[in-house]
Structure 1
Amino acid sequence: MRFATVDFQGSPRAAIDFGSHYRVTPFQDLSEALRELDGDIAALADISEFETIDAGEAILYATTKTPHKIICLGLNFTDHVAEMLHDRPAFPTLFAKYALTLTDPYAAIVKPEASNAMDWEVEIGVVIGKPARDVSLEHALDHVAGYTVVNDVSFRDFQNRTSQFLQGKIFERTTPVGPWLVTRDEVDDANDLAMTLTVNGELMQSGRSSQMIFGIAETIVYLSRILTLEPGDLLSMGTPSGVGAGRTPQRFLVPGEVMESSVEGIGVLTNRIISTGSSTS
């Protein structure tokens, strides 16, 4: 099944994607729906109170707008580690984002005046369904509601000011997520999917999730030793090579450019870069 968060009479609502139309539920987004339904995403189909929206008229918001936690992996693809001139990590490199960092799958993204090193990173997003604490590797994926696409837009000049990544990762409304949450049964193997990113149609990133150093189940196990993963939480699994900071010369985003971030079987994000004060339409 596929789910989305759509606009309904001016407000976001979790919805079920039926191809030609969306069935709208009472929940404001999929994170809230998962929390209220104890992680049972399929239970949305049993809710009797809903409206429908034609797919051609639907406005899609970030799949998860209100996650309690957003946990990201840096340096998690072998080729990306090499292009960034780092050693292969022995443990997951973790950083966090905040809900205010997220934006919609087709939203324009404002290039902040403070940064001149705005970079792209196509990633697989993992949305947690059931709570996970001290889980086993065998059952780790049982705690996954589904997958989405994330573009971890990064500001390298801020990121590289210290050894901690956080300040380069949390500019407001710069991390698009969506367009859909695709349930596990729709994806043959999330650890082996094609991932691409283009800028103005030029291929910048092309890799497969099989290059991940720490896979999805392994990451869930590791995180669940540290804290409880809750329904609606978002994990972003890292990016393959081809980022702007890893190129010679380095290449960063400027207003007017359009990114397309694609993960096989999950979806495509399309985001235009605009300058401060520009129209977001």
Structure 2
Amino acid sequence: MKIARINDSKFQETYALVSDDGKRLVTRQEIQEQTGIPVPPSIKDFMFNGWLDEVRKSKDRLTFKHKVEEADLLVPIPNPPKIVCLAFNYYDHARDAGLTPSDEPVIFLKPRTALNKPYGEVHCPSFVTRLDYEAELAVIIGKQAKKLSEEEALDCVFGYMIFHDVSARDIQFKDKQFTRGKGIDTFAPCGPWITTKDEVPDPQNLMITTKVNSETRQNSSSSNMVLSIRRIISGLTRTMTLEPGDIISTGTPAGVAMSMKEPRYLKNGDVVEIAIERLGTIRHKILFQ
């Protein structure tokens, strides 16, 4: 199923289920009215405490009344405990950067304040001179996990979404680490919703594309990952406890601006569109301030 976080008609935060085709939705209140299930106000409680499983049994009773395009979609999960991002986890991206991929997850943490709506504007400080895009497949953790084997790793996954790891390369290169250049407010648009793992039978075989002003810049597949999602989760849980609501963004494929012979960084007014097979599309305008 697809779970979205939205503002309702009174501009109050709530959540909704999205139809299989991604075009219509039914709100929390309507889910309760149509099924008689007293679903909780919190989207985290709904997803991680068994309520979604109860609603799934009554899915045939749901009427998806509203057009998704008319909804104000929010960041799918509020206040995740951690946002863990992988660096150089695609063979083609690592090759373009002249690097040899690691056999362990090379990670950095992105602050929650960087999260942005799937169609929200990216507000870039005017002093940034090399703004880049990175389309990524993100994993949403559904239950606490520690020291998992690769065989067990997907058991803790709740679902998947699109994640845009917007990057200020000039800051990144100056600092020689990633946090400041990738942690600016609004630098993590994501969504458009969370798709549960049962709808993604093979997360290692999803097409990933990025367009800037309708021009394709990235066109790859999650099959090109160096470390699979199983290996990422297993590797992370050897050193840290994963918690429900954690986001793991699994790296970006080739085609980013910094790897071009003549880099074409993002400019004021550019529109970035990222699509991942089975997960939908996010789109946002770049505004320098």
**TM-score of the superposed pair, with normalisation by structure 1:** 0.90
Shift of 1:275: 2.8
CA distance in 1, matches of 2:45, 2:266: 33
Verify: 1:198 aligned to 2:202, yes or no: no
Shift of 1:102: 0.4
Matches within 5 A, 1:167-206: 167-206=180-219
Q: Structure 2 counterpart of 1:42, which letter?
A: D
Runs (5+) with no aligned partner, structure 1: 277-281
CA distance in 2, matches of 1:32, 1:113: 39
Shift of 1:200: 0.3
Superposed CA offset, 1:43-99 (max 9, x none): 46589xx99872243110111221010000010000000111212223211000111
1:217 aligned residue: 230
Q: Which moved more, 1:3-12 or 1:101-110?
A: 3-12
Verify: 1:140 aligned to 2:149, yes or no: no
CA distance in 1, matches of 2:176, 2:283: 31
Verify: 1:22 aligned to 2:26, yes or no: yes
Verify: 1:93 aligned to 2:71, yes or no: no
Structure 2 CA distance for partners of 1:112 and 1:31, relative to 1, 3 Å: farther
Contact 1:64 1:177 in 2 (8 A): no
CA distance in 1, matches of 2:73, 2:160: 16
Contact 1:105 1:270 in 2 (8 A): yes
CA distance in 2, matches of 1:153, 1:164: 15
Structure 2 CA distance for partners of 1:100 and 1:44, relative to 1, 3 Å: farther
Q: Structure 2 counterpart of 1:224, which letter?
A: T
Q: Structure 2 counterpart of 1:82, which letter?
A: R
Contact 2:83 2:247 in 1 (8 A): yes
Q: What's the % identity of the aligned pairs?
A: 33
CA distance in 2, matches of 1:207, 1:52: 33
> Number of paired residues?
271
Contact 2:206 2:221 in 1 (8 A): yes
CA distance in 1, matches of 2:256, 2:230: 25
Structure 2 CA distance for partners of 1:45 and 1:188, relative to 1, 3 Å: closer
Q: Structure 2 counterpart of 1:130, which letter?
A: K
CA distance in 1, matches of 2:232, 2:284: 28
1:251 aligned residue: 264
Q: Structure 2 counterpart of 1:107, which letter?
A: G
The one of 72, 81, 90 aligned to 1:77 = 90
Structure 2 CA distance for partners of 1:10 and 1:52, relative to 1, 3 Å: farther
DSSP-derived class of the 2:174 partner: coil
DSSP-derived class of the 1:159 partner: helix
Shift of 1:5: 0.7
2:66 aligned residue: 54
2:4 aligned residue: 4
2:31 aligned residue: none
CA distance in 1, matches of 2:55, 2:269: 39
**TM-score of the superposed pair, with normalisation by structure 2:** 0.87
1:42 aligned residue: 53
Q: Which moved more, 1:248-257 or 1:197-206?
A: 248-257
CA distance in 2, matches of 1:74, 1:27: 36
Shift of 1:14: 2.6
Q: Structure 1 counterpart of 2:12, which letter?
A: S
Contact 2:84 2:247 in 1 (8 A): yes
Superposed CA offset, 1:150-195 (max 9, x none): 0100010111113321111100012101001111111131111110
Structure 2 CA distance for partners of 1:156 and 1:53, relative to 1, 3 Å: farther
CA distance in 1, matches of 2:41, 2:179: 30
Structure 2 CA distance for partners of 1:258 and 1:136, relative to 1, 3 Å: same
Superposed CA offset, 1:215-261 (max 9, x none): 11111111111111111110000000000111111111111110001
Q: Structure 2 counterpart of 1:229, which letter?
A: L
Q: Which moved more, 1:236-245 or 1:163-172?
A: 163-172
CA distance in 1, matches of 2:259, 2:132: 10
Contact 1:128 1:229 in 2 (8 A): yes
DSSP-derived class of the 1:250 partner: coil
Contact 2:16 2:25 in 1 (8 A): no
